[in-house]
Structure 1
Amino acid sequence: MESLRSADGLELVRGVAERMLQELIEAEATARIGAEWNEHTETRTTFRNGHRDKTLTTQAGDLDLAIPKLRSGSFYPSLLERRHRIDQALYAVIMEAYVHGVSTRSVDDLVKALGA
């Protein structure tokens, strides 16, 4: 447990999370296209056309992901939400708690429960 709490352990968790998400994104793209990279099948609907970079901010740190681009059509992984930021949701929750007169200690507990 101590090694996971250290800087090296956090880097390990970040690396594993990044690799896992990247593999899931690639699998979803393959399912959408109907073929693996450089595979020719009758069910193929389009071709890959490179990747674009996406940085995902998590508690483990920033994850650098590559989102596949398609020659025709568009692709965005279902794992990620378009134009959604967690901090906007967090601010909305804090503002609503303030309007309803919730104590600062309860708001602090709520923020910790949300993972911030």
Structure 2
Amino acid sequence: HLDTVADMLGKQFPKVKAMLLEAKEDLTAFADFPHQHWKKIQSTNPLERLNREIKRRSDVVQVFPNTAAVSRLATAVLVELHDEWIVFPRRYLSTESMDGLYPDTGTNLSNTTE
């Protein structure tokens, strides 16, 4: 579909066509994943939630003594979120659909415990 869109736009906007074709691999990277993942991959909601949480925590402190202090706070938020994702019973991407990503390896993520 990208080639079709690029050809249609290329008649009037040749630079846009060149730009789309140059970025084709990046624009279609999601297609390597199972179809049921596409909607979640295209969403920036988890990233926006993370940024809001970092902002909320940094608003409490207001003034940081140095850049290392900001890095420590952001790292603490990331570690906390990682811990939540490990123990949270519901997964963002199901283990069954993740198993389909690597069918030849024999790795079964739905039986893996961390």
TM-score (norm 2): 0.31
Greater percentage in helix: 2
Q: TM (normalized to structure 1)?
A: 0.31
Higher strand share: 1
